[in-house]
Amino acid sequence: VSPESLAEPVHYFDAAHSDAFSEILKIESCLKRALARDEFYLLYQPILSLTTGQMTGVEALLRWRCSELGQVSPDRFIPLAEQSGLILPIGRWVREEVCRQLQAWCSEQPEWDIPVAVNVSPAELVQPTFSEELLNRLALAQVPEKLLRIEITEHSLVRDNEAVEQNLVRLKARSIDINIDDFGTGYSSLSYLRRVPVSSLKIDRSFIDGLPTSEDGATITRTIIEMAKALGMEQVAEGIEKKEQLTFLHGHHCTYGQGYLFSRPLPPDQIPALRSHPMVLQESQNG
């Protein structure tokens, strides 16, 4: 497409838009080469029990260090990967890498019991072969199935897609837990939540952000915790940065938490040491 044909009518193509547009094209063309150039790596962010302070799992978070653009945040490149279909090979790389890492941790420590949660995009979950590929990969790496979890967003569920439902049922039947990520920001219906085998709801960071002062944040957080408990699901609060947020969550018996207050996403070699050191969550309370 020539720039001339895009420039009509003229006011759609001002300098600001043209910059943003060419930047997107640039990122996309780099993204195509990122796998071959081995530019991806994973960080792992601890998830803690809010009752014991123990790390009970980690979330694998994708990082891209582009040789041309430098470090690019997932919030920028994941949407582009989803639109272009590149998320399919990238997602496969993520799961292969996680299996390799789990295999390494398990062989270093045979009693390894820290599961890894991987983020899965809607475009991946609609692939009818998704669950089979994942189970095969785990088997090949000889990693126990319960050590892998998946995080999906409500966007995967609203599609009401047969393949999505079959993938989820199949994974759950093989003890792979399913977490709903960023819960509260999408439109999944309560009846659909009952139909799919969901183990936990991750409360979106935007609600945790304003705790405890934001009335909306507090109401929504409380409601999600209660709803999850009523449905027999665990609750994971995302993005805990401050002690006051933790105190609020504690007071409402939220079961798990994740956030910079406990730990940033870490390189894999820093994870094993955290296994044996529970965080002190509260100063001892009177009464």
234 contacts Mg ion (rule: CB under 5 A)? no
Record the tokens describing residue 195, joined without a space: 């139909």
258 contacts Mg ion (rule: CB under 5 A)? no
Closer Cβ to ligand C2E, 73 or 191, answer by number: 73
List contacts with ligand C2E (CB under 6 A). Answer: 45, 61-62, 73-75, 78, 91, 94, 119-121, 151, 181-182, 205, 238-241, 258-260, 265
- Rounded Cα distance, 159 and 193, in Å: 13
φ, ψ for residue 250, nearest 5 deg: -60, -50
Residue span binding Mg ion (CB under 5 A) among the ranges 22-30, 91-99, 174-182, 257-265: 174-182
121 contacts Mg ion (rule: CB under 5 A)? no
- Rounded Cα distance, 287 and 284, in Å: 9
Residue span binding Mg ion (CB under 5 A) among the ranges 96-104, 167-175, 221-229, 231-239: 231-239
Cβ contacts of residue 80 below 8 Å, gap of 6+?
24, 27, 28, 31, 86
Task: Supply angle C-alpha 97, 98, 103, rounded to 5.
Answer: 100
Closer Cβ to ligand C2E, 21 or 260, answer by number: 260
Record the tokens describing residue 70, joined without a space: 């430098």
Record the tokens describing residue 86, joined without a space: 């590149």
**Element (DSSP H or E) covering residue 148:** strand 148-153
151 contacts Mg ion (rule: CB under 5 A)? yes
56 touches, from Mg ion, ligand C2E, none (C-beta below 5 to 8 Å by class) = none
131 contacts Mg ion (rule: CB under 5 A)? no
Among 205, 159, 215, smallest CA distance to 183 is for: 205
Closer Cβ to ligand C2E, 108 or 177, answer by number: 177
177 contacts Mg ion (rule: CB under 5 A)? no
Return residues touching Mg ion (CB under 5 A): 119, 151, 181-182, 238
